[in-house]
Amino acid sequence: METRTDRVEPLLRELAPRVLGSIVRRFRDFAACEDAIQEALLAAATHWPREGVPDDPRAWLIRVAARRMTDHIRSEAARRRREEVTASLDDDAALAPDDDRAHERDDSLALLFMCCHPALTTSSAIALTLRAVGGLTSAEIARAFLVPEATMAQRISRAKQSIQESNVPFELPTPQESGQRLVAVMHVLYLIFSEGYTASSGSELQRVDLSAEAIRLARMLQSLLPQDSEVQGLLALMLLTDARRAARSGPAGELISLDQQDRGAWDRTAIAEGVALVSAALSKGSVGAYQLQAAIAAVHDEAASTAATDWAQILALYSLLQRMSDNPMVALNHAIATAMVRGPEAGLKAIDALASDPRLAGSHRLDAVRAHLLERAGQPGAAIEHYRRAAARTSSTPERNYLLTQAARLNDSS
Amino acid sequence: MKYILMMNTQKGPYQHESWPEKAWKAHLAYWGTLNAQLEASGELVSVEGLTAPDQAKRVYAGKDGKDGKPITDGVFPETKEFLAGYWIVDVESAERAYAIAAQASAAPGPGGQPLNMPLEVREVMQSAARDL
């Protein structure tokens, strides 16, 4: 049964960054503003379900948060005995009528750029983005990452402190910087998505769905920057990957590899949306890494089976991606695609060439891929050995269980 | 009361690595059911499995906190048993903690029979003072 809280909650989450942006623009002090917004959201979450949603919910939140900020500044000013600050606030300039809807888009963007600023560590940026832009509470974020609430609260307050200390401004980056800064924002959203996608099973019902949250934030970013084809690619990649979610694990949380998945369980609506997005992005001609990865995901999602997959196209896309980024994981996937097009021996040869890359040394993925290819090449003994080695090296329980299951299956039949 | 239930393993690779697929899957299913039960009863605080002992490192501060080589690689020959994983449960009594440990100990082995592994059960100390 839908409660009234069910309707209030999404509305608050959607309003959170817009209200925060507006308050930060007026009061500047990001850390204090962020606290004020959290209080305003809490007030709304308790009042609105009982008394009904106000006619202009955004204005309501801004009013409450601005009042908190004024109180905060007054008490700070009193503490420091600086009367002039209070005097300047008394003319109520800070609560002046709303002419700031025009600024809303810039404010939301500036907020994202601020939370994903390179001065922050990645884990801080992730936590802060989820709270300040996503409108989640520290407790919800803590549960999503399976860490104690106090730890997460501390992480968020350290992040806010770094923003203060590094003098990260609340403004849009200059055109010169904006490319690099957008890369950082997209990276943070992508990491939030991956965290949700690879999270182990467990008390998922009580956890915020981080993948869905990342998709929501990427949608917001896309609506703010509709012309950016990489942002489009990022959203497409998330949708096309998330579309396979229901099929990628079994009832006990065990991993199911792509070739074994029930493709009927894939989310066709998400696939259609992702394909449309990536096609639109690619047609603009400014190809980037997210668009290429989305294009690869689209080829998989549109195939009826592994055998019917257009591996030649996937190989070509990985070749492009490899030229664009010096990433060993891309090279590894390129090797897999090579094996699908030219046979397992060609893939194994490509992997041998990669084995000397120090960034892959000790990586369980290299062993796992090698095991798969050895199995396909008809060398079960060596395949078992590499499955087991990969299992010993991975730190993901579902992955380890999957790898040991493969080893056991081969061992049984040989 | 909180208890930690520690599952230890012998030196060398985890024994399940060479089991038949059916036995391995039954073993996994057993853990899945046990964890789901503990979660449903509200007794599960956390459950973690550790990576294999050959991934372990031993760390020392060294002289003055900087001398020598503070990090050594596993496996450590002098150690006979290694922690493989643990549960922390919040239960009404010590007996309940023992009962859960017994259930964990009975996880099925390669032939389907209970493994009867030893589980070490220790009460976790309270970090806050109890109300008087």
Residue A88 vs residues A6, A73, A74, A85: alpha-carbon distances, Å: 41, 11, 11, 5
CB contact under 8 A, B20 and A412: yes
CB contact under 8 A, A408 and B29: no
Q: Alpha-carbon Rg of chain B, whole angstroms?
A: 18
Contacts of A408 in chain B (CB under 8 A): 19-21, 23-24
Give the torsion through C-alpha atoms of B90, B92, B93, B96, to 10 deg: -70
Query: Do A236 and A294 reside in the same domain of the chain?
Result: yes
Number of DSSP helices (H) and strands (E) in chain A, helices first: 19, 0
Residue A365 belongs to some domain of the structure: yes
Domain boundary among A306, A334, A356: A306
Q: What does DSSP assign to residue A64?
A: H
* B71 shares contact with chain A (CB less than 8 Å): no
The distance in angstroms from the start CA to the end CA of chain B is: 16
Domains and CATH numbers, chain B: 2-123 (3.30.70.1060)
Which of A252, A388, A393 has its CB closest to that of B28?
Answer: A252
Closest CA in chain A for residue B39: A203
Q: Which two tokens stand for residue A260?
A: 């074994």
Q: pLDDT tens, B65-80?
A: 665 566 777 667 677 7
Quick one: which of A414, A363, A366, A407 has its CA closest to A387? Answer: A407
pLDDT at A1: 38
Which of B24, B32, B51 has its CB closest to that of A408?
Answer: B24
- Interface of A to B at Cβ within 8 Å reads 202-203, 252-254, 388, 391-395, 397, 401, 404-405, 407-409, 411-412
* B18 shares contact with chain A (CB less than 8 Å): yes
Contacts of B107 in chain A (CB under 8 A): none
Please, what sign has the CA dihedral across residues A115, A116, A121, A126? Answer: positive
Predicted-complex ipTM score: 0.77
Residue A97 belongs to some domain of the structure: no
pLDDT at B59: 83
| Containing structural domain, residue A314 | 310-414
Residue A98 belongs to some domain of the structure: no
Residue A290 belongs to some domain of the structure: yes
Q: How far is CA B21 from the centre of its chain?
A: 23
d(CA A24, CA A73): 13
Query: Do A249 and A295 reside in the same domain of the chain?
Result: yes
Domain boundary among A284, A306, A328: A306
* B37 shares contact with chain A (CB less than 8 Å): no
Q: pLDDT tens, B80-131?
A: 788 989 999 999 999 999 999 999 999 999 988 999 988 999 999 876 655 5
Question: SS3 for A273?
Answer: helix
Residue A101 belongs to some domain of the structure: no
Which of B13, B18, B28 has its CB closest to that of A411?
Answer: B18
Percent of chain A with pLDDT over 90: 64
Q: pLDDT tens, A35-71?
A: 999 999 999 999 999 999 999 999 999 999 999 999 9
Write the single-letter amino acid at B42. Answer: G
Closest CA in chain A for residue B54: A392
Q: How far is CA A280 from the centre of its chain?
A: 22
**Number of domains, chain A:** 4
Alpha-carbon distance A395 to nearest alpha carbon in chain B (angstroms):
6
Q: Partners of B83 in the beta sheet?
A: B8
Q: pLDDT tens, A228-248?
A: 999 999 999 999 999 999 898
Write the single-letter amino acid at A408. Answer: A
Q: pLDDT tens, A127-171?
A: 999 999 999 989 989 888 888 889 999 999 999 999 989 888 888
Query: Do A275 and A350 reside in the same domain of the chain?
Result: no
Q: What is the mean pLDDT of chain A?
A: 88
